[in-house]
Amino acid sequence: MKIINNQIYLEDVPVTELAQAYGTPTYVYEENRIRENFRRALNAFRKYYSDFRFFYAIKANNNLAIANILRQEGAGIDAASVNEILLAQKIGLGGEDVMFSGNFLSDDDIRQGLKSGVIFNLDDPSLLPRVLKFGRPELLSFRVNPGYGKSEVGEFVTNAGPGAKFGTHPDQVLDAYRQAKEAGITRFGAHMMPGSCIRDPEYFRFITELVMDIIGKTGKELGIDFEFIDLGGGLGIPYRHEDHVLDIEKAAEMVADMFRKKIAEYGLKPPRLMMEPARYFVGDAGYIIGTVHAIKDSYSRIIGTDVSMNTLARPAMYGAYHHIYVNGREDEPRIPLGLCGQVCENTDFWVKDRPLPEGISLGDLIVVENAGAYGYVMSYQYNGRLRPAEVLVNGKEHALIRERETIDDLTRNVYVPERLLK
């Protein structure tokens, strides 16, 4: 994003042009920013450990145009559900280019996962006997919960530690792999999740050491090699302008140094090192363009826009912060204002006492920053509000990559019994 003569541009396209072409609210993604983010991170990790690969956690943004950008850059896909495996297949990825990391799987999930031939990453050892009823994975890993987790976007998204629902307890890891080996499985990996949106390189060193001690002892005692070790995602971005940027070079160096140290300590055959971020690639490449539709003066001044909690759920869900720009007014003095959407819930009052341009007026365009991850994928249709369009910009070019929903989408799968129509 850039501001020229007080006008906001996404890459080289004015937001006024995008709003006129596609309406609002609309998600817009900068293709070149996605590629730059991916290459920066990949170059950093391969600099310090050459046998490295990223798997893109498609849950964060499942638009196939976005996924194809990352496929072109060399990413595999981390799938949290069978449907995400199918999305990976739609962009030409399958087999061991896909990691299936579902949790609390149904029998149908297991059958379809086995049929797809992807890497099976089991959340819990109790799943193994159920998996073996239907087949034997070619390549199997367990998700380890090392007992620690960290998040910079709220406790509800920590994803690891004693309070998380995910992963295998450290005391159960050895037995889990022993059972898998005794069942005839011969190819193994290991997986963990460090947390969410972490910008402290030292934490990645710490969590690498922790999980490698668990995995190293397991491999040494059972005499098994690990083809890969996936350190999960969690590479963070700053949401507030005063927050520091993750030093990706330092993080990569610390992780790789600790990784090599533990490989040597436990006499492991050097495995591939993998990670599965998404926010780092797409989070700061995505924006929402919205329109000011109403201004209310009551107990406070509230700016009403068409960006509602059903458009961007994160602020209402766990108080997430997103910076807001107002096109044409970024050079104005600021006063504390509130901002809300059009949903009939007070949690849709998702900005309060935020310094915003004092001259904000009806018809102004707002731009919501850092909306590329966990934005559109978490949108919904409450109050009959329809999901927005998605647009990709590349230089001066822009293209629709998902149509705005219509009333037909709201009623498409609804059937009314004949007796109710009389």
Write the pLDDT tens digit of every residue in 275-313.
999 999 999 999 999 999 999 999 999 999 999 999 999
Q: What is the pLDDT of residues 131-183, one digit of tens each?
A: 999 999 989 999 999 877 777 766 555 677 777 888 899 999 999 999 999 99
pLDDT for the residue numbered 331: 96
Cis peptide before 238 (omega within 30 of 0): no
Cβ atoms of residues 109 and 81 within 8 Å:
yes
Give one DSSP letter per residue of 245-266, joined into a string. Answer: PP-HHHHHHHHHHHHHHHHHHH
Q: How far apart are CA 392 and CA 281, in angstroms?
A: 15
Cβ atoms of residues 291 and 19 within 8 Å:
yes
pLDDT for the residue numbered 156: 55
Question: Of 313, 412, 280, 377, which Cα lies nearest the Cα of 81?
Answer: 377
Sequence-distant (≥ 6) Cβ neighbours of residue 186 within 8 angstroms: none
Which token pair is 153? Answer: 């976007």
List active site positions: 344
Phi, psi (rounded to 5 degrees) for 289: -100, 125
pLDDT for the residue numbered 318: 87
Mean pLDDT score across all residues of the chain: 95
Helix (H) or strand (E) holding 19, with range, is helix 15-22
Beta strands 334-340 and 140-144, pairing class: unpaired
Q: How far apart are CA 97 and CA 76, in angstroms?
A: 5
pLDDT category at 188 given cuts 50, 70, 90 is very high
The CATH class of 31-282 is alpha beta
Phi, psi (rounded to 5 degrees) for 100: -100, 105
Q: What are the DSSP E strand ranges found in 101-149?
A: 119-122, 140-144
- Judged on CB neighbours under 10 Å (0-12, 13-18, 19+), 121 is buried
pLDDT category at 195 given cuts 50, 70, 90 is confident
The residue ranges of every structural domain in the chain are 2-29+283-411, 31-282
Instruction: Give the single-character DSSP code of 354.
Output: E
pLDDT for the residue numbered 260: 97
Q: Considering the chain, what percentage of its residues have pLDDT values greater than 70?
A: 99
| Strand, coil or helix: 47 | helix
Q: What is the pLDDT of residues 23-67, one digit of tens each?
A: 999 999 999 999 999 999 999 999 999 999 999 999 999 999 999
Beta strands 150-151 and 195-196, pairing class: parallel
pLDDT for the residue numbered 194: 82
Instruction: Give the single-character DSSP code of 313.
Output: -
Q: Is the pLDDT of residue 109 over 80?
A: yes
Which token pair is 275? Answer: 């990670």
Phi, psi (rounded to 5 degrees) for 196: -145, 130
CATH number corresponding to 2-29+283-411: 2.40.37.10
Average of per-residue pLDDT across 238-258: 97
Q: How far apart are CA 85 and CA 83, in angstroms?
A: 5
| Strand, coil or helix: 197 | coil
Predicted TM-score of the model (pTM): 0.95
| Strand, coil or helix: 60 | helix
Which token pair is 303? Answer: 């700016």
pLDDT for the residue numbered 148: 75
